[in-house]
Amino acid sequence: MTAQDDTKAYRRDIAQFEKLSAKYERMRIQAIRVQIYANLLKELENAGVNPKRILDVGCGTGVLLRTLADRYPDAELHGLDISPGMLREARAKLSEDFQADFRQGAAEDLPYEDGHFDLVLSTICFHHWHSRVDGLREVHRVLAPGGLFGLADHFAIGWLRPMFTLFRMRDRVHTPAEVESLMADAGLGAREWHLVYSLRRRYPFIHAVLADRP
Ligand SMILES: C[S@@+](CC[C@H](N)C(=O)[O-])C[C@H]1O[C@@H](n2cnc3c(N)ncnc32)[C@H](O)[C@@H]1O
């Protein structure tokens, strides 16, 4: 894929999310997300985190943040997304019980101060980033030393690897070794991988990697 094709694909993705935003939470795919979030939160619990400032990069309509509000009621919650439509939906759900700061922006240029967060998460978004290298550098920058990054997405693992090659997505969907190398270049240390969702309970589909910011 040329750089021009890549930019086109990126713009097409964003336009698509804008279009989907109003019905996003009613789509069937939400059932998958509920499981991904539950498993991701279980791994965070196993990791013993008790975050005070959490950022969700590519937060969509804010479902993960709403789940996190229940689990970590004292944490400051922040959501960033590139799509104004997604953010409109997310803000419409703010209430007395659910307070969060939603900002529009790109993973590759995070509008937050250095070291502000002790937990950064991103679910089903990494393969949409225009530059995964720049995005990971930004995650490293906004994490405080000792902070944790939890990244859940589909990766080129097992049966998915030939599939993503077939669909010409291998340049955006990485193997664990490639992800770990990109993370290391950004100053993040991949610590552990977990399967967080299997299709039909049989076919590993979404994995999460937890990485430390030393
Ligand atoms: C598949 S949705 C996932 C949303 C949410 N994380 C979830 O788990 O349902 C991907 C989201 O990432 C956003 N997005 C895509 N590229 C982005 C980027 N470079 N920076 C920030 N958000 C981005 C899209 O607007 C969309 O809301």
Mutate to test the pocket of ligand 1, among 20, 28, 121, 125 (most ligand atoms within 8 A of CB): 125
Q: How confident is the model at residue 14 (pLDDT cuts 50, 70, 90)?
A: confident
Question: Would you say residue 152 has pLDDT above 90?
Answer: yes
Cα separation, 139 vs 120, in Å, equals 7
Q: What is the mean pLDDT of residues 50-79?
A: 97
The residue contributing the CA closest to ligand 1 atom 4 is 60
pLDDT at 1: 47
The residue contributing the CA closest to ligand 1 atom 11 is 58
Give the global pTM.
0.93
Contact 142, 55 (CB under 8 A): yes
Cα separation, 190 vs 27, in Å, equals 32
- Among 106, 50, 67, 116, CA closest to 83: 106
Question: Would you say residue 160 has pLDDT above 60?
Answer: yes
Give residue 122 CA to ligand 1 midpoint distance, Å: 8
Lowest mean pLDDT among 9-18, 46-55, 103-112: 9-18
pLDDT at 188: 98
- Strand, coil or helix: 10: helix
pLDDT at 4: 58
pLDDT at 74: 96
Residues 6+ away with beta carbon under 8 Å from 11 = none
Contact 56, 78 (CB under 8 A): yes
pLDDT at 171: 87
| 141, burial (CB in 10 Å: exposed 0-12, middle 13-18, buried 19+) | middle
The pLDDT tens digits for 175-210 are 999 999 999 999 999 999 999 999 988 999 999 999
Give residue 125 CA to ligand 1 midpoint distance, Å: 5
| 207, burial (CB in 10 Å: exposed 0-12, middle 13-18, buried 19+) | buried
